[in-house]
Amino acid sequence: MDDILGGGGSRSRRPGPGGDYVELGPDDIEASADEPATKVHIAQIEGQRDVIDIKNAIYDGDIVVADITRHSTTDRTMERITQDLQGIVREVGGDIVQKADDQLIITPGSVGISRTKLGR
């Protein structure tokens, strides 16, 4: 009974604090056809062309964390990019926030971003 689930893959049976458990590998996890998984994408915004990939991800229902360290927050290019992203977010009913000076977090309509930090 070394391989509880049968077949190949990277599944193995290992002792844990609450008894035995089955460790699943990446090939063992499938997204349900009825309920697609939301993905979190990491993007780096270097120019206006990067907005297209971010827009496509948001339209697909995914979340994007975008690195904007190459631009200052007063940069005209960044202002235009931010306005474009805000328009996309309005279209899908999503959310967008700037975290510090180096990141934008952009979400689709099904995900909101809390403006309150967890913990203290």
* Domains, the chain, ordered by start: 1-30 (no CATH), 40-107 (3.30.110.150)
Q: Residue-wise pLDDT tens for the chain (120 aa)?
A: 444 344 444 444 555 555 567 777 777 766 555 655 899 999 999 888 999 999 999 999 999 999 988 765 567 888 899 999 999 999 999 999 999 888 999 999 989 999 998 987
pTM confidence score: 0.66
Q: What is the pLDDT of residue 23?
A: 77
Look at the block and give the residue holding tokens 């499938």: 30
